[in-house]
Amino acid sequence: MCLPARGGLIQYWRSFEDLERFARNLADAHLKAWQRFNQAIGADSSVGIWHET
């Protein structure tokens, strides 16, 4: 039986403000990649984001 690949990633941020600053930085290289990823993955539920605040 061949199961789909699974993985996980955990990130810890100093503060919500630091995370927000990173996520909204239009000059940061991660933004274009994140936008392309979200467009490619769509809403097929194959990726989920869990967070605690």
The 10s digit of each residue's pLDDT in 6-31 is 777 788 889 989 988 988 899 988 88
pLDDT score, position 2 = 59
CA–CA dist 30, 16 (Å, integer): 18
Measured distance CA(21)–CA(19) in Å, rounded: 5
Give phi and psi for 42, each to the nearest 5.
65, -145
pLDDT at 1 over 60: no
- For residue 8, the 8-state DSSP code is -
Average pLDDT, the chain: 81
Cα distances from 46 to residues 23, 34, 38, 41, in angstroms, run 21, 15, 11, 8
pLDDT at position 53 is: 62
Q: Is the pTM here over 0.85, yes or no?
A: no
